[in-house]
Structure 1
Amino acid sequence: MLRARRSRREEPLEERLPDPVISRADAADPEQEALLADSVGLALLVVLESLTPAERLAFVLHDMFGLPFEQIAPIVDRTPVAAKKLASRARRRVRGATPTPDPDLGGQRRVADAFLAAARGGDFDALLAIHDPDVVLRADGGVLTGGMKVIRGAAAVAGQAATFQRMATSAATRPALVNGLAGLVNTIDDRLISVMSFTISDGKIAAIDILSDPDRLAHLNAARVSRW
Structure 2
Amino acid sequence: MGSKIDLLVKLQYLDQNINSLESTKIKIPEELESAKSEMIRVENKLKDAEKKYSDYQKALKIKEGEIDDEKEKVKKSRVRQNEVKTNDEYRALLKEIDFINSRIDTIEEELIKMFDLAEPYKEEIASAKKELENEKKLYDEQIIIKNKELQDIESEIKFSREEREKLMIEIDSEIYRIYERLCKYKENIAISKIGKRGICQHCSVLIPPQTVNEVIADDKVLYCPNCQRILYYTDDV
Bigger share in strand: 1
Shorter-chain TM-score tier: under 0.3
Q: When the two structures are superposed, what TM-score results if normalisation uses the length of structure 2? A: 0.23
Q: Rg larger in 1 or in 2? A: 2
Bigger share in helix: 2
Higher relative CO (CA 8 A, sep ≥ 6), structure 1 or 2?
2
